[in-house]
Amino acid sequence: MYYKKIKDRLNQLIEKGEKALSTTHPPPEGLVTFAGDFIDDEPFYQWRIESLSFLARVFGNNSIYFKEFQNHCTNPRYSEAFQGQSILKAAKVDIDGGYLKKLETLVSADIFTDFLEMSEHLLEQGYKDPAASLIGAVLEDGLRKIAKNNNIKLKSKENISSLNKKLADAKIYNRLTQKKIQVWNDIRDNADHGNFSEYDSDSVKEMLNGVRDFLRNYL
């Protein structure tokens, strides 16, 4: 769903770019320039800001797409807008062709961050048990994504323990990390089964910080 939203948004931006380019007009009277034709300011700058925001969120500020667009599409001139539009179309080709393998992972990471922030809020409000369950769900989904990214075959039903073992056996991370994940899994299981006295808020906070760091490093 989120992957489709990204593709739909990129198509919208390309359409906006075409509309901006359609406003082409000669330079203002009296202005001597070798830059060629201009386009209207308002549609250009709105399209430029929206495009930069999209490229930064999806590909990152250090991506070639963001840098090229930022550096070469700065003024409402036809030649610069044309370059910007070409960059968006290049991004579309890569996305449609499946060449950006990390894109879905980036979207997942963003979603995971939102859920972990929700968990942190629950924990701050004194709700350690739903926080533990939510963190565990994020961890399980993250492990599944990591396995997929590393071409590890999975069964239709996997849990944290089985995913953890497969990833450690494949040397995606070491045995110490495997043991840490198992501790987080125990907390999640206790929360899901109503064994609330088996862990405390500090344990859940350590779990939250640990899962956040783990996903940041491996996802």
Each residue of 172-219: pLDDT tens digit? 999 999 999 999 999 999 999 999 999 999 999 999 999 999 988 887
144 closest CA partner among 105, 198, 190, 86 = 105
Higher pLDDT, 6 or 110: 6
Residue-number span of the structural domain to which 158 is assigned = 103-218
Higher pLDDT, 117 or 112: 117
Tokens at residue 111, please?
């979603």
CATH of residue 208? 1.20.120.330
Q: 68 and 111 share a domain? A: no
pLDDT digits (tens, 9 = 90+) for 11-54: 999 999 999 999 998 877 766 555 678 999 999 999 999 999 99
Q: 83 and 180 share a domain? A: no
DSSP string of the chain, one letter each residue:
-HHHHHHHHHHHHHHHHHHHHTT-BPPPTT---SS--B--HHHHHHHHHHHHHHHHHHH-TTSHHHHHHHHH--SSBHHHHHHHHHHHHHHHHHHHTT--TTHHHHHHHHHHHHHHHHHHHHHHTT-HHHHHHHHHHHHHHHHHHHHHHTT----SS--HHHHHHHHHHTTSS-HHHHHHHHHHHHHHHHHHTT-GGGS-HHHHHHHHHHHHHHHHHH-
pLDDT of residue 26: 85
Would the pLDDT of 85 be above 60? yes
For the segment 111-125, the average pLDDT, to the nearest whole number, is 83
Would the pLDDT of 1 be above 70? no
- Can you say whether residue 73 is alpha, beta or left, with left for phi > 0 and alpha for psi between -120 and 50 degrees? beta
Q: 139 and 187 share a domain? A: yes
Would the pLDDT of 73 be above 90? yes
pLDDT of residue 99: 61
Tokens at residue 98, please?
């499946």
Name the domain boundary from 96, 122, 155.
96
Query: pLDDT confidence of 5, banded at 50, 70, 90?
Result: confident
Tell me what percent of the residues of the chain surpass a pLDDT of 70.
89
Query: pLDDT confidence of 115, banded at 50, 70, 90?
Result: confident
Q: 152 and 131 share a domain? A: yes
Name the domain boundary from 96, 111, 138.
96
Identify any residues that bridge with 16 across adjacent strands, giving them in sequence order.
none
Q: 110 and 203 share a domain? A: yes
Q: How many domains does the chain have?
A: 2
Tokens at residue 82, please?
């044309």
Q: 160 and 205 share a domain? A: yes
Would the pLDDT of 167 be above 90? yes
Give the Cα separation of 146 and 36 in Å (integer): 49
Would the pLDDT of 104 be above 70? no
Q: 119 and 155 share a domain? A: yes
Q: 116 and 74 share a domain? A: no
What's the pTM value of the predicted model, to 2 decimals? 0.54
Name the domain boundary from 68, 96, 124.
96
Report CA-CA distances (Å) from 27 to 46, 57, 77.
Answer: 20, 34, 9
Q: What angle do CA 159, 191, 186 make, to 5 degrees?
A: 50
Q: 78 and 12 share a domain? A: yes
Query: pLDDT confidence of 4, banded at 50, 70, 90?
Result: confident
Q: 209 and 122 share a domain? A: yes
